[in-house]
Amino acid sequence: MDPSHAADEPREPVRHRPPRAHQSRQTDCGDGAERLPLLLTIDEVATLLRTTRPAVYAMVARRQLPGVTRLGRRVLCRSDDLLRRCDQNRAPSPKE
């Protein structure tokens, strides 16, 4: 087969794997914000809290984050617990 003709042949569609079990359930923030997975990785927690990975690991070590789950060496955090804690700790705006 000539390689120049290979580009003309139709390709099969790419099949994507279904989301993993921990990503299939999602939490709604209730205010129209984007939906989050049920369990967040350290990188996702750091992005959500606008901080660094080492800072998140320090919060985990000090038990300052709610809903932390360890699966072997992997550390995950329940998004609904984290969002609830953030909502409880927010300062009221002057208009409230």
Residue 2 resides in a domain: no
**In 1-96, beta strands by DSSP E:** 26-27, 36-37, 39-40, 68-71, 74-78
The model's pTM is 0.61
Tell me which DSSP letter residue 62 carries.
T
Residue 24 lies in a domain: no
Assess if residue 62 is contained within a domain: yes
Domain of 68 in residue numbering reads as 35-88
pLDDT in tens, 51-71: 999 999 999 999 999 999 999
Decide: 78 and 65 in contact? Cβ < 8 Å.
no
- The CATH number that applies at residue 61 is 1.10.10
pLDDT higher for 77 or 30? 77
The total number of structural domains in the chain stands at 1
28, part of any domain: no
Residue 2 burial (CB count, 10 A): 5
Which whole-number Å values give the CA distances from 38 to 6, 12, 17, 84, in the listed order?
43, 33, 19, 13
